[in-house]
Structure 1
């Protein structure tokens, strides 16, 4: 059942993004940024945790999950370090994912040569 919930949750999040691309004038970059902000806001009001508990990886892997991780990291760091946690918590919580993105991007750039579009 966990796999089905993850599939449904991730599928709904992707379907919403596709709907926004098809039916609005928003650029994909703005939609992606909106997803991160939505994850932060939903976690801040305490709603996103319920989605994570139900959808598992379907809720944590998309960009809304990145926003969720940022907000959760800030909340934890503020509880431990006080106001300084506002600046450090989000980066600490997401540093592994950011580092992986940078490493894999460099590897892709090394092994695959881009070609000009014609």
Structure 2
């Protein structure tokens, strides 16, 4: 049942994003920033953790989850180090995921011959 709930919640998030892209003049970059900021705000309001517990990977994988990870990292660093934690907490929390994305995309670029679209 957990897989079905994750699929439905993740699919609903993706459907909302697709509707935003199709029905508004918002560019993809703005929608992505909106998702990250929404995840951070929901984390700050203590709404995201119960949602994450219910939806599992359906809530943690999309960009909403990335925003929540940034918020959690900043909150933890601010509690431990004060004001300076505001600047380094988000980087510390997301460093592994961002590094993995960069490394694997670089490795894939070696394996596949990509061409620019015209």
Query: Do the structures match in fold with TM over 0.5?
Result: yes
2:53 and 2:36 mapped to 1: Cα distance? 18
What corresponds to 2:77 in structure 1? 77
What corresponds to 1:37 in structure 2? 37
Post-superposition CA distance 1:62-97 (Å, at most 9, x none): 011000000011111111122121111111111110
Runs of 4+ in 1 over 4 A off after TM superposition: none
Alignment of 1:50-69 (within 5 A): 50-69=50-69
2:72 and 2:116 mapped to 1: Cα distance? 41
Question: What TM-score, normalized to structure 2?
Answer: 0.94
TM-aligned CA deviation for residue 116 of structure 1: 3.3
Asked whether 1:26 is paired with 2:26, we answer yes
Cα–Cα, structure 1 residues 110 and 7, in superposed 2: closer, same or farther, change >3 Å? Answer: same
Question: What TM-score, normalized to structure 1?
Answer: 0.94
RMSD: 1.1
1:102 and 1:117 mapped to 2: Cα distance? 22
Moved more, 106-115 or 9-18: 106-115
Q: Which runs of 5+ in 2 are unaligned?
A: none
2:5 and 2:76 mapped to 1: Cα distance? 27
What corresponds to 2:113 in structure 1? 113
What corresponds to 2:93 in structure 1? 93
